[in-house]
A and B are shown apart, each in its own frame.
Chain A
Amino acid sequence: MTNISTTDDPVAETDYQRVQRSPEFQDLRRRFRNFVFPVTALFLVWYLVYVLLADYAHDFMSIRVSGNITVGLLFGLGQFVSTFAITMIYARWANKKFDPVAEDMRRQIEGEDH
């Protein structure tokens, strides 16, 4: 799609604008945002909770769960676990639910001028 007409005429629409307006694209966009925005909010809040606990709730984080394993250590390792989990969930979601639709649309758009 190299020959997109960009013109000063405000009424004329480019191919990209046509795609952007299409229900298929709007649906793809909504699906993407409905996934990544809540997940981003979730992990940022969970990280912030962890940081604030480590910073201000020393007694709670120092509770021994078993031997020298503290609540703080489990929370810290929990950050690793949640990061790995979100990574896997997102990759699976994107491969299965997002890529096929996006790929289809890419083919359609790029096919237009070939």
Chain B
Amino acid sequence: MGSWGTLSPTTVLAAEASDVGNPWINIGIFAAFVAVTMVIVVRASKQNKSAADFYAGGRNFTGPQNGTAIAGDYLSAASFLGICGAIAINGYDGFLYSIGFLVAWLVALLLVAELLRNTGKFTMADVLSFRLRQRPVRMAAALATLMVVFFYLLAQMAGAGGLVALLLGIESTAGQSVVIAIVGILMIAYVMIGGMKGTTWVQIIKAVLLIAGAGIMTFWVLARFGFNLSDLFQGAIDKAGPGGEALIEPGKQYGSTPMSQLNFLSLALALVLGTAGLPHVLTRFYTVPTGKEARRSVVWAIWLIGIFYLFTLVLGYGAGALVGPEAISSAPGGVNSAALLLAYELGGEILLGIISAVAFATILAVVAGLTITAATSFAHDIYANVIKKGEVKPDGEVKVARMTVLVIGVLAIVGGIFAQGQNIAFLVALAFAVAASANLPTIIYSLFWKRFNTSGALWSMYGGLISCLVIITFSPVVSGKVDPVTGASLSMIKDTSVDFAFIPLENPGLISIPLAFLLGVLGTFLSKESSHPEKFAEMEVRSLTGAGSEKAVVH
């Protein structure tokens, strides 16, 4: 995700996007992906009857299938293009993203996946409201879910516009808006027709393509350097010219000031604690029949994601060595074009076409996963349980979910069009920070702490959510950050005379995550609410033994 920020319309506009590759090959390969996945989605839709089918794919996926789908859900284009670019330009500091994104999975594996599968039904809120007061807790959990999904979705949509524009040679803002609209419409079609089952298959196919594509390129790069990692680094150092040695040392990006070092620490914390609170990751655990399969899913996901991030290390330095940081920075799309330029360098326009189509498929699959999560949360938590107080037929709920898909799709298109050129790294990092502060403390407390109560959950969730948003609003990310060399604004608000930033931290995690954990404890102890030992007993016994958990749908 590191460096999506540089993908602004101006850089795309200024460049001749058709410099590399043949747009028709790119379009052709991508169209083939859409056609194949659409057939699979339509076939999957024939079994979409119940709510468990639409929301959770009938809970019939195997651990390995779901693990692959999780990798497809998690490895966004931002991880692929962003991390490769960050390593190519900033060297070692770019590698740090991969590590945070991977280690985070251990939190999900050890503390969350199985217990969540055993106690919940469709959403994160199912688990959080299990033994607390249903309506307020569900509402808070659903709002946090929607907020995380919204930031994540905007980032992917804006990224799609920029990426495709650059690949297909569409240079005008209007043209890019059309591309964003096409992404949105495709996503609506996948999710409305295929539900969770269709979405899962799209993610599985995409994960296989992405990991295979990255694997082939990695092999190719290593072959160029005699399978010697040290020689590969030397290649990158030589290509970078004077000072190139800094590429293999930490601190090139984050080491310059004490404040940037704190920013790095904050980001590292949000990354490692955010994953297990990402709602679109959590809902994937419901697509398997048992807690044991949920565990297998995560084991598969960790291997696939870990191996993929090892590939990005080679690809990043490979792009640095074979394409060079200067050529990457001045290309349309800047840092984010590193992996694509490397593909072109290695295998000409055919490989570029394949890798571009894979990158686009990646965005589509991630966006579809986010959309079904948001729709499930709205229909199941807000509509069925908060508004209708649970008095609703399951198929009525699914109808609302399908309508929600449409609404979210339209919102994502409009938001994506407005978010063009926004700092996308900021949006994804904010999504992780919100997930780590608003969701994770309450998930952990409600699974493991007997005394935890409704007021603790509300304090922690709203406290985490609001503190994140407040810190970000008054940080240099929104206003007042100026490039000392060019005098251009580096903030969301491009008018450099507007500056209301007084919190120097660029990622809220360092403050908001400990705060949310603390508020959960404070809220719990300051409330006189009586506890529900019988609900806690049910939750604890279910979570560990799997007794009474939701069963797979039999067709």
A-side residues, CB < 8 A to B, are 1-2, 4, 6, 13-14, 16-17, 19-20, 25, 28-29, 32, 36, 39-40, 43-44, 47, 50-52, 54-56, 58, 61-62, 66-70, 72-73, 76, 79-80, 83-84, 86-88, 90-91, 94-95, 99, 102-103, 105-106, 109-110
Contacts and interface: CB of A to CB of B under 8 A. Distances in A.
B478 interface: no
13 contacts: A14-B534, A14-B537, A20-B537, A28-B544, A36-B110, A50-B99, A51-B100, A54-B250, A55-B255, A62-B248, A94-B295, A102-B545, A105-B547
Interface in B489-506: none
B106 A70 contact: no
B234 interface: yes
B534 A40 contact: no
B302 interface: yes
A50 B234 CA distance: 24
A14 B545 CA distance: 17
Contacts of A43: 103, 106
Nearest to B115: A32
B19 interface: no
B410 interface: no
Interface string B99-118: 11011011101110000000
A106 B106 contact: no
Contacts of B102: 79-80, 83
A80 B99 CA distance: 7
A80 B310 CA distance: 9
Contacts of B261: 55-56
A54 B230 contact: no
Nearest to A33: B448
Nearest to A47: B103
B249 A70 contact: yes
B308 to A, nearest CB: 11
A87 B546 contact: no
A17 B103 CA distance: 36
B4 interface: no
A40 B106 contact: yes
Say which size band chain B's interface belongs to.
35 or more
B394 interface: no
Interface in B136-150: none
Given A19-B541, A43-B103, A58-B250, A72 B92 contact: yes
B272 A47 contact: yes
B482 interface: no
Given A29-B540, A68-B237, A79 B534 contact: no
B16 interface: no
Contacts of B99: 47, 50, 76, 79-80
A86 B99 CA distance: 15
Given A16-B542, A68-B248, A109-B545, 14 more contacts: A2-B548, A20-B541, A28-B544, A28-B545, A44-B272, A54-B96, A61-B249, A67-B231, A68-B233, A73-B92, A87-B298, A87-B302, A106-B546, A109-B541
B541 A83 contact: no
Given A55-B264, A79-B103, A99 B251 contact: no
B534 A39 contact: no
Given A6-B534, A72-B249, A83 B295 contact: no
A50 B549 CA distance: 39
Interface in B523-555: 533-534, 537-538, 540-542, 544-548
Contact of A58 (B105, B106, B255, B292): B255
A32 to B, nearest CB: 6
A25 B541 contact: yes
A56 B262 CA distance: 10
> What 10 A-B pairs are tightest by C-beta distance, nearest first?
A67-B230, A68-B233, A62-B249, A109-B547, A20-B537, A17-B537, A16-B538, A16-B537, A106-B547, A51-B268
B537 A19 contact: yes
Contacts of B548: 1-2, 109-110
Nearest to A69: B230
A45 to B, nearest CB: 12
B271 to A, nearest CB: 10
